[in-house]
Amino acid sequence: MAAPRGEVPDDDHLMLYVPAGRLAHDVDLDTYVLTSAAFELREDDDGGLSTTWVEHYGPRSIATYGKAASAFRASLPTKRIGAKAIFAIGNAGSARRACASYGKNIRVVPAPEGPNTGHVEIRRFSDDDQRLLDMLANDVFKEHVKVAVLELT
C-alpha cells in the first residue's frame, strides 16, 4: 500500500507529543507505559490527530527530533512543553496499516501550523476502538524520546 499523493510517504515517520499525564506511571518502578490515552483526540483536534513529520526537518536522528520538537513547541499558544513528556515516534506506513486493519482508511496529510511547517494531521481517524489505540501505542509508535533529552531551540 503506497501513500496517496500529497500525503506523508510510508517510509517516513511521525512524532506524537504525549504529555506526562497521559503516560501510565508506575511510581514504584519509576517507569511509564504508553496507553490508548495518548491517541485520544482532544477538544481542539478538529482536523484529526495532530503529529509532526520527522523527515520534513531532516534525516531521522535525535538532532532532527529536536528540530521537530522545537517547531511543535513554537506552534503552541503557550510555547511550552513539559520536561517529563515524551515524543512517541512511529512509521507512517505502519500507522496506515494498523488503522486499515481496523477498517479506518486514514489520510496522513501535511497541514503546516504556524512555525511548525512539518505539522501533519491524521484525518479520518477516530478514537472509538480501544484495540486500535492499543496497537498504535504498542506496535507502531514504539520509539520514545523524552523531551528532557532533546536539544530545543
Partner 1 sequence: MNVLTYPGSRLTRSNASLMSGAATISIPSALGTRSSGTSDERVVPQPETLELRLFNALAGAKIWTAQVARHLDRAARDRYFHQLDVLHDPDEWFGTDKPVSLESYKGFIRFMLMLGGNSKPALALSPRGTLLAVWRAQDARLTIEFLTSARVRWLVAQPVGEEVERTAGDAGLDRLLALLKPYSPEKWFGST
In Å, how far are 13, 56, 82, 104 from 139, measured between CA atoms? 14, 23, 25, 17
Q: Of the two residues 6 and 77, which places its CB atom closer to partner 1 in the complex?
A: 77
Contact 39, 136 (CB under 8 A): yes
Q: Of the two residues 62 and 83, which places its CB atom closer to partner 1 in the complex?
A: 83
Report in angstroms how near the CB of residue 90 gets to partner 1 at its nearest: 16
Question: If you write DSSP's letter for every residue of 70-109 in order, what string do you get?
Answer: HHHHHHSSS----TT-EEEEEEHHHHHHHHHHTT---EEE
Report in angstroms how near the CB of residue 102 gets to partner 1 at its nearest: 10
Report in angstroms how near the CB of residue 45 gets to partner 1 at its nearest: 9
Q: Of the two residues 37 and 109, which places its CB atom closer to partner 1 in the complex?
A: 37
- Footprint on this chain of partner 1 (rule: CB under 8 A): 17, 19-28, 31-33, 35-37, 40-44, 76, 78, 81-85, 129-131, 134-135, 138-139
